[in-house]
Amino acid sequence: MRAVMYRGFGDEPELVDVDRPACPPRGAVVRVRATGLCRSDWHGWMGHDAGIELPHVPGHEFAGEIAELGSEVPVDSGWEVGDRVTAPFICACGRCAECLAGNEQVCDAQRQPGFTHWGSFAEYVVVDEAALNLILLPDTLGFVEAASLGCRFATAYRAIITRGRLHPGEQVAVHGCGGVGLSAIMIAVAAGVPVYGVDVSDAALAAAAELGATPIRGGEGAADRVREASGGGVDLSVDAFGSPATSFASVRSLKKRGRHVQIGLMLADDATAAMPMDAVIDGELEILGSHGMAAHEYPDMLGAVASEAFRPIELVGRTIPLDAVPEALSAMGRAGGAGSGMTVVEL
């Protein structure tokens, strides 16, 4: 099969021919039809994820068709070769304490395509524990739109609705208006609440405004500008970028008893970023993490997409072929190189 591979962290990725992956007894092999290009893939390429072994094929937001099912996948699971599917970027084991409690998104033995094993920048990708982790796509949902749900839209959905506990009449700030940030804005705007989109990029601010958010200039003083625009602070603030500056500003944007949700990755030296704990204590603020979404939570989101309560296809900025991935991945490390909106690879 064709795949995009890098042999060293930071080395130029290449389009290569490699063997198609073997199907695990309890897993499946999916023929990839579309896959998202995410900043998490860039972090992995830069060596910020200790679990990646070289050489490596990245990619973790995908949709396609079942090409092969393992010999131990239960017949009563209902899966058949040819079914149109996606999977969460965290594939759970189904047997650990967290999985048994329904928290598959923080599985103790999780597998992540594109990180723990080769991913979806390839014609085929492995999904472990197929009966648990495969998700059937509605007939009305195309592969590009399904791939755009990937880790970004699903993560944003759970961050706003489940972890953020958004209520009518509240106000929301989203710091970082890239793929996951714009997803969070779309979801919050659909809930009918005031939303403030914070970024340093004019293109990102324009995209946030187009979705219905009030654009706020990021950088120094961003939290003050959010507090002024919202009349004293927001109820829910999300760091969708992942940096010491954006996470700090997100917490400072909150009113008393407000909730901060961290969904932008904080890796390498940023993993231990400082927090304004004086504000956390004085205002009884909540600091929450959100790590993807379990497969069993997808039906509600997919139903909302199918009913056009949300239109994540509007967040796709461009589609590219597989051979354009090396340059697109490299561009994510350059100022302005990532562009606005999501990039989805069509195979």
CATH of the domain at 10: 3.90.180.10
Domain membership of residue 76 (yes or no) is: yes
pLDDT of amino acid 254: 98
Domain membership of residue 156 (yes or no) is: no
Radius of gyration of the chain (CA): 20
Instruction: Looking at the structure, tell me whether residues 310 and 270 fall in a common domain.
Output: no
Question: Which residue, of 274, 289, 304, is where some domain finishes?
Answer: 289
Q: Which helix (H) or strand (E) holds 141?
A: none
pLDDT of amino acid 335: 57
Instruction: Looking at the structure, tell me whether residues 298 and 285 fall in a common domain.
Output: no
DSSP 159-211: IIIIIS---TT--EEEE--SHHHHHHHHHHHHTT--EEEEES-HHHHHHHHHT
CATH number for 236? 3.40.50.720
Instruction: Looking at the structure, tell me whether residues 125 and 197 fall in a common domain.
Output: no
Specify the number of domains making up the chain: 2
Instruction: Looking at the structure, tell me whether residues 132 and 11 fall in a common domain.
Output: yes
Note the pLDDT tens digit of each residue in 287-346.
999 998 999 999 889 888 888 888 888 888 899 999 999 999 988 876 555 555 688 999
Does residue 90 contact residue 151 with C-beta atoms inside 8 Å? no
| Helix locations, the chain, DSSP H | 39-45, 97-100, 130-133, 143-148, 154-157, 179-190, 202-210, 222-230, 244-252, 277-282, 298-306, 325-331
pTM: 0.87
Instruction: Looking at the structure, tell me whether residues 12 and 129 fall in a common domain.
Output: yes
Instruction: Looking at the structure, tell me whether residues 318 and 221 fall in a common domain.
Output: no
Q: How far apart are CA 175 and CA 222, in angstroms?
A: 9
Q: Which helix (H) or strand (E) holds 56?
A: none
Domain membership of residue 49 (yes or no) is: yes
DSSP 293-313: --GGGHHHHHHHHHTTSS-GG
Domain membership of residue 158 (yes or no) is: no
Domain membership of residue 315 (yes or no) is: yes
Note the pLDDT tens digit of each residue in 24-76.
999 999 999 999 998 889 889 998 888 899 999 999 999 999 999 999 999 88
Instruction: Looking at the structure, tell me whether residues 116 and 54 fall in a common domain.
Output: yes
Domain that residue 111 falls in = 2-151+293-346
Note the pLDDT tens digit of each residue in 203-241.
899 999 999 999 999 999 999 999 999 999 999 999 999
> Percent of the chain having pLDDT more than 70?
98
Domain membership of residue 157 (yes or no) is: no
Residues ≥6 apart with Cβ < 8 Å to 24: 70, 126, 128
Instruction: Looking at the structure, tell me whether residues 269 and 168 fall in a common domain.
Output: yes
Average pLDDT taken over every residue of the chain: 92
Domain membership of residue 334 (yes or no) is: yes
Instruction: Looking at the structure, tell me whether residues 252 and 198 fall in a common domain.
Output: yes
Instruction: Looking at the structure, tell me whether residues 87 and 106 fall in a common domain.
Output: yes
